[in-house]
């Protein structure tokens, strides 16, 4: 079987790259405009990190990264914010991000690799730029398959729906079916060191929880796994909870449940008040390591060189935006099967 070599556009800290490598694909480079991702990408993966703007790249730039023989894969997860939060207020900014998927399509047409894959939020299917991307693939001789999957079906301890596209110029291709046991939160993070609000583990400086205020400590102590702020006494409830509009957000300030998958990990998972991100029995929000583990990054994955370099906002954004490693591995296995 021919070797498969890949370039990962919009690589971030390497979730997609890491999973593809686990599946046996040689990812020679990851490209991203966010240079804060370089340490994690380069430290944990074999490919080089290239700090570049995708809109300024040409097919020849990518061609130079691939070896002369073997099959090529162009992979990427264009920033999903414009497809998940299309608002009039941010229309100009979203249009600029939208264009990144157009540039992905342009590079596919320039390079014409044997395989293409894209992972994104399900709503990407309803944006006009997606039709452009599909038309580009069809015009260049690709057979395309795509579907929405629940990451929990692929052994990821998280209810997270994602859109996965696979395209091949050498024959049919489709995502491999789930073949792993469902993974609960307990199975994923149950053995990590117990820590308190504002503390970090002496064994892993990424296993660090953000400090809760005194009122939020009282609130989380009154919270039940799988429950909501409705379980609190009235003096603990926020003003927004007492208004009709706020009463529909039941998961905000919620605790997770040990024997179920986690809620979707967002870029704010370390903030207890942004969703159901309370630890099942410790009085704190999820730690950075726990969020990364729920995204199926291995426990050894490094995101910062020292404890002093750990930033909740930076690493939270990197982890929340990443492709779950186990989903990426399933994508990689699909491509390897199609190439054989």
Under CATH, to which class is 4-182+324-339 assigned? alpha beta
Instruction: Name the residue among 43, 144, 20, 127 with its Cα closest to residue 78.
Output: 127
pLDDT digits (tens, 9 = 90+) for 231-290: 898 889 887 766 655 555 667 899 999 999 999 999 999 999 999 999 999 999 999 999
Say what the pLDDT of residue 239 is: 77
Q: Which residues of the chain have pLDDT under 50?
A: 83, 85-94
Q: Note if 11 is an active site residue.
A: no
pLDDT of residue 248: 57
Q: What is the pLDDT of residue 230?
A: 87
Contacts of 8 (CB under 8 A, 6+ apart): 14, 16, 17, 20, 27, 29, 30, 31, 47, 75, 76
Beta bridge partners of 167: 116, 144
Residues whose CB falls within 8 Å of the CB of residue 213, separated by 6 or more in sequence, listed in order? none
Residue 79: per-residue pLDDT: 75
Rounded Cα distance between 127 and 44, Å, is 34
CA dihedral 45, 47, 51, 55 (to 10 degrees): -120
The pLDDT of residue 180 is 76
The confidence score (pLDDT) of residue 241 equals 63
Q: Residue for token digits 């909501």?
A: 228
> How confident is the model at residue 75, as a pLDDT?
97
pLDDT attached to residue 89: 46
- Quick one: which of 154, 169, 157 has its CA closest to 108? 169
Burial grade of 139 (CB within 10 A; 0-12, 13-18, 19 or more): exposed
CATH 3.90.120.10 location in the chain = 185-320
- Considering the chain, tell me which residue range(s) the CATH 3.40.50.150 domain(s) occupy: 4-182+324-339
One-character DSSP codes across 185-199: HHHHHTTSPP--TT-
Helix (H, G, I), strand (E, B) or coil at 100: helix
CA distance 273 to 286: 11
The residue from 80, 151, 183, 240 that is catalytic is: 80
In CATH, what class is 185-320?
alpha beta
Range list of H helices, 80-119: 81-84, 91-111
CB 46 within 8 A of CB 21: yes
pLDDT of residue 51: 97
Interacting residues of 221 by C-beta distance below 8 A, sequence separation 6+:
283
Q: Are 280 and 185 in contact (CB under 8 A)?
A: yes
Report how far apart, in Å, the C-alpha atoms of 214 and of each of 68, 186, 218, 240, 283 are. 61, 27, 6, 19, 11
């Amino acid at each position: 079987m021919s070797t498969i070599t890949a370039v990962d556009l919009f690589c971030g800290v390497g979730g997609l790259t890491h999973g593809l490598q686990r599946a046996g694909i040689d990812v020679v480079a990851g490209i991203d405009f966010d240079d804060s991702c370089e340490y994690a990408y380069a430290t944990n993966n074999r490919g080089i990190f290239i700090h570049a703007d995708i809109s300024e790249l040409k097919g020849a730039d990518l061609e130079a990264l691939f070896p002369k023989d073997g099959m090529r894969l162009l992979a990427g997860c264009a920033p999903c914010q414009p497809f998940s939060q299309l608002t009039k207020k941010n229309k100009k900014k979203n249009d600029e991000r939208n264009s990144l998927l157009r540039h992905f399509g342009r590079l596919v047409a320039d390079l014409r690799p044997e395989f293409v894959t894209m992972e994104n939020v399900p709503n990407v299917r309803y944006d006009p730029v997606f039709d452009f991307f599909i038309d580009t693939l069809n015009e260049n001789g690709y057979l395309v398959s795509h579907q929405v999957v629940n990451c929990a079906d692929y052994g990821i301890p998280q209810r997270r729906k994602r859109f996965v596209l696979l395209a091949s110029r050498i024959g049919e291709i489709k995502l491999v079916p789930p073949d792993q046991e469902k993974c609960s939160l307990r199975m994923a993070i149950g053995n990590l060191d117990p820590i308190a609000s504002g503390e970090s583990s002496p064994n892993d400086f990424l296993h660090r929880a953000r400090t809760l205020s005194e009122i939020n400590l009282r609130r989380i102590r009154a919270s039940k796994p799988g429950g909501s702020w409705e379980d609190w006494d009235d003096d603990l409830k926020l003003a927004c909870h007492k208004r009709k509009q706020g009463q529909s957000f039941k998961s905000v300030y919620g605790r997770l449940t040990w024997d179920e998958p986690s809620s979707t990990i967002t870029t704010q998972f370390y903030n207890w008040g942004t969703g159901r991100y309370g630890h099942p029995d410790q009085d704190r929000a999820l730690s950075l390591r726990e969020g990364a583990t729920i995204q199926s990054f291995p426990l050894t994955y490094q995101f910062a060189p020292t404890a002093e370099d750990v930033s909740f906002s930076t690493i939270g954004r990197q982890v929340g935006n990443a492709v779950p490693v186990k989903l990426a591995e399933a994508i990689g296995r699909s491509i390897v099967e199609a190439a054989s």
